Structure formats: structure tokens, C-alpha cells
Structure 1
């Protein structure tokens, strides 16, 4: 299993990616969440300039945020800056859309978008929104077409599986492990958590800072996919909903997603303090070194070929080193 890293795109991400390369991580993925992050392509370009070996890519791009020509041109630029190191993953949009009040995009749109994007990189003329277009970059403005980069698709259900099989080179997975993972040869799995010291409590200050943001996804995801009742069934869920419902309904998505994958927001802290931390091991890849190693073995048996670890908290080096040690 390859060991890679992910970052919720920040101004520090290029330096963090350089650190991940120094430590030996295989690939670095960064998020496409413009409502809380700097531009994903600018960040990757800076990382390309500061690294030599580590793989680079957006994980995941949300198609409705950019015209397919824009993403194709950005992909070609990164491929020129980091030859042989680029991969691109697409998803229907969790925080990248829901934090702005939108639902996920349809799989029919994803299918059409990836087809257009692939054809543009191949140098073909494509039709998009009723217009004919082609990458016209002269020499020195982009690599010659075709620009070949592997494409992964983030999918959990049958519609996404069908798109990934036909148009993707692999399956990008997070939050759950679909049974069809085993039929793919490349399956990065994005996970959050931390390596705990022997005897360290799941509500320690370190656990809250380093694994809390990933643990909070259980509440964010339950709210977005199951609604308030699904959240209230979780430990600390009623307290979480009490905080969220203080915000007017039209802006409630802002209260849910603030701090997403970075730090606990007010609702998350209320759930944590009410006992929600008890499900830290269940909701994240957290535990002692041996427990994390055992979980990784299980994921490998389920079809994961690349673990993608997102560190959280103030000590990125410490979290990266401890996780890498647990994978050895």
C-alpha cells in the first residue's frame, strides 16, 4: 500500500508538501474548496517548484467550479512543471459545493465533463455548452497534446462506479468503503486521524487537535446526507444540532462547514464535550501504532491500494512522522 498525504489547501501547503516529500510520502493531494482555501492550482504549482519526486494532484476537483477548458489548461501547466508526477481526481462536491449551499452535481454532468476534459487534453475539438473548442496553446504555452495524466473518480454508489469504470484510471474514496473497490487496481482512500500514545485517552488535547477535525466529519456528513435526525442519533448529536440551529436555516450550511477538516467549530466542540469523542476510533483512523497498523491491513484487504492521510493540528511534522512510522 502506498502512503500518501492530503492537505486542506492552505498558504502553508507548498511547504507542507515539500516536508511530506522529505519524509517519504508517495503523493500529495490538495482540496478544491475555494470558499475556505487558496486556489488549488496555484498551490500545486508552488509545490511543484519546491519538490522533485512526490506525486501531485487535486483531490478532488469539483467540475462546476471551473470550465473544462480552465481545468484542462491548469492540468497541462502542472504537467509541464512536474512531468510524470501529476494525477487528477474528480468528485461531485461535498464541502466544495455544500459549504456554498449547493447540492452535489449529477453523475450525468460528471460524465459529460470528464469526457470533454479528457478530449481537450488529447487535443481534440469538443463541444461544450453549444460551442466548439480546442486547446490552441502554441509551443511554450503548454505541453504538446496529448497531455496524458491519470484520472480518478470519487464514487461511493453504482452511478459513480459506472463513470469511474468507463472514464477513470482509478477510484478515489473517502468516508466509506464501497464493496466495488476490489475491482479497481488503484484506490486511494482519504482518511483522518492520529497515532495515539499507549494509554492516551480519546479526549486528550492532542487527540482533539489532531483527529478532531476528521472526527467532526461524522456530524457534517450525517447532517448533509441524513438530515438532523441522523445527527441526533450520534453521541453528542443533539448538542451539535442545538448549536447549528441557532443559525437561520438559509445560512445553516455555513455553520456546519466552517473549519471543515481544519479545526472544530462551535457545534463540533459542543458534540465533543458532550461525549462524542467516544467514537473517535470508529469515526477516524485513530489509535495506537498497532491499532492503526491493523486498520490499514483491513483496508488493504478491502481493496485500498493507497492510504491518503490528512494531518491536522499545529505540529504537521509530528503527525506525518508518527503516521508514517505506524505504516512501517
Structure 2
């Protein structure tokens, strides 16, 4: 059975984010993935620590962090501490870096650099020493008395990182849309990577990251997710799209503003046509979303993690609640 997760960007005060996580736990969600982009959102580690208080089951993860603004000594210590505090209810979601870097004019990590960072994080969490790349000094987490088990999830959309994730990660946060052909293509690429390390697709936990808006008015729902869809299509896609959409995608890539990253009112959201929304989001009436969810459930993912979007005055709780209802029917 496909489980449910919720991706939450900390665009509201910590108390509000904590309430969303507690609601998700009460509704049976398995994971709460907290966005990490220090220039546009509130601090992820503070948000996760606050959200952990009063919960007992839900797994807390980043959706996602990076190893540039977060030095690996800091990442390892953050996750060792959070794992200790929650009794192991953690999942470290990491990627090459996106808005957290782009808003400062920095470039994402190369895939080889990301792979090296993951290897060093695992070594630190085992209590081993690694060498700092600039100073040459070895360092470790001196307070660990035993290895800490923290599953590492790679965020992936383009084919090369999907394959890397299949080879090295414990789980994959897949951002490729909701169209069956895109999801199936991504899973095949992950599986090819898994085989390189002697594993199968079933050895990894596959999370489908899904911008979601559920409203009585289908058009209003689609309007809410256009900005997130634009973020998906600025990256290389896992499968070809209709050639007629390629000029539209190129205009979105040229006009994307990282300081309006995932903001439903971003100017680049207006460039996104309904055809792209239908390919890359879960947006529409409850009945429409339920039908697409049934398609996704048959494709082989382990979890659908919604990124809930709603009118500002409404808040995200209603979408979190409604998705739980349609997923459980």
C-alpha cells in the first residue's frame, strides 16, 4: 500500500508549521518533509525540532537540504541530535542544492561532489573521522557513543541523478511529475542505478514528491500549483514532452526567479499552461485528484508526498486533511 507524506516549506511561523506536522501525524501520514532554503524560508532544523515535540510516530526529514550551505560536520551533528531526540524518527533528504544556493549566486554541487558528501556523512554518523577539504584537518562527532542510523534520501529529477540515487541512496525523493510515463521512466532509471550496487528497486524507499492543490474549482486548484510546476520543468525531464510545449518550457527556464521559489504568486507561474500542470502536479477537484492518485499507486512508488498549496487565507490544513480522506477511500 502506498503511504502518505507531506512536504512543508517553512513559509509560516514555526508554531504554524508545528501544527501542520501534528495534524499530519494524527491523519496517518508517514513522513513530514521540511524544506530547507535559508534565504527564503524559516530555519529547517529549528522547525523540525519544534515539530518533533509532542509527536510519537511521524518521521521528520528535509525536503531537501544540501552540503554547501550546510557543512557536513553541521549536517551530521544536526541529524545525530535529531535522531537521538526522536528515537530515530528521521530521514535526511539531500540534493545538489537549489534555491538555497541560487539565491546567493552559487552553483549546485556536481554529482561526484554530492556522492562524496553522502559518503562522508555516513562515515561521520558511524563515528568515524573525515578530512576537511580546505584545512586538511580530520574531524569527527566526538560525542557519539555508537553509530547513528539515519537513512539518506537523494532528491532527484534528471536522469543522471536518478541513476546515482539508485546506486547510493537509502531512498529517493522523486520530482518528475505525476504523469505515468514520467514516473515509470524515473523508476526504470533508479532501478538501473540500484543494479550497479547489487540491489533492486525494492531495496530503496521511493517517495514521489507531488505539488498538490485540492479545491472544488479545478481551475483555482491548478492556479495554486503553477509556480511549483515551473520549478520542475526548469530541470532536465525524465522523458520527452510534446514538442509544442518545449518553447513554453524554455521561456519558464529563462524567467525563473529563485526568490519567488514555490510562491503561488510568482511571476513565472503565469507562464505555465494547464497541459504542464496535468503532467507535473496533483491539482483539481477531490474526484480528479483521487483518480490520478489511483494511477500513481499502481506504478510502484512507496509514498506520495504532497506539497500542499492553498489560498493564503485558507492555510494548508484543509489540503492535508482532504488528501488524507481521498487517499484512504
| TM-score, normalised by the number of residues in structure 2 | 0.80
Provide structure 2 residue ranges, at least 5 long, that are not aligned to the other structure. Answer: 178-182, 192-200, 238-242
Distance in 1, Cα, partners of 2:284 & 2:190: 24
SS of structure 2 residue aligned to 1:290: helix
**Equivalent residue, structure 2, for 1:234:** 248
Distance in 1, Cα, partners of 2:231 & 2:244: 10
1:51 paired with 2:58, answer: no
Residues 286-327 of structure 1 show CA distances to partners (whole Å, capped at 9, x for unaligned) of 133333233223323333110001112233221111111111
Distance in 1, Cα, partners of 2:8 & 2:151: 20
Residues 96-143 of structure 1 show CA distances to partners (whole Å, capped at 9, x for unaligned) of 323333332101101111111100010112223122111112xxxxx5
Distance in 2, Cα, partners of 1:207 & 1:219: 12
Within a 5 Å distance, the mapping from 1:1-328 to structure 2 comes to 1-10=2-11, 11=13, 12-129=16-133, 130-137=136-143, 144-157=145-158, 159-176=160-177, 177=183, 178=186, 179-181=188-190, 183-184=201-202, 185-197=204-216, 200-202=217-219, 204=220, 207-208=222-223, 212=224, 214-223=225-234, 233-234=247-248, 244=255, 256-269=257-270, 271=271, 276-277=273-274, 279-313=276-310, 314-328=314-328
* Gap change, CA 1:230 and 1:77, over 3 Å in 2: farther
Per-residue deviation, 1:66: 1.4
| TM-score, normalised by the number of residues in structure 1 | 0.80
Distance in 2, Cα, partners of 1:27 & 1:241: 31
Distance in 2, Cα, partners of 1:323 & 1:112: 37
Contact kept? 2:91, 2:151, Cα under 8 Å: yes
Per-residue deviation, 1:285: 0.7
SS of structure 2 residue aligned to 1:298: helix
Residues 195-246 of structure 1 show CA distances to partners (whole Å, capped at 9, x for unaligned) of 243xx341x3x553xxx2x3223334445659xx9988239x86x799x4xx
Flag the structure with larger Rg.
1
Distance in 1, Cα, partners of 2:227 & 2:60: 26
Contact kept? 1:126, 1:134, Cα under 8 Å: yes
* Gap change, CA 1:23 and 1:166, over 3 Å in 2: same
RMSD: 2.8
Provide structure 1 residue ranges, at least 5 long, that are not aligned to the other structure. Answer: 138-142, 245-252
Aligned residues: 296
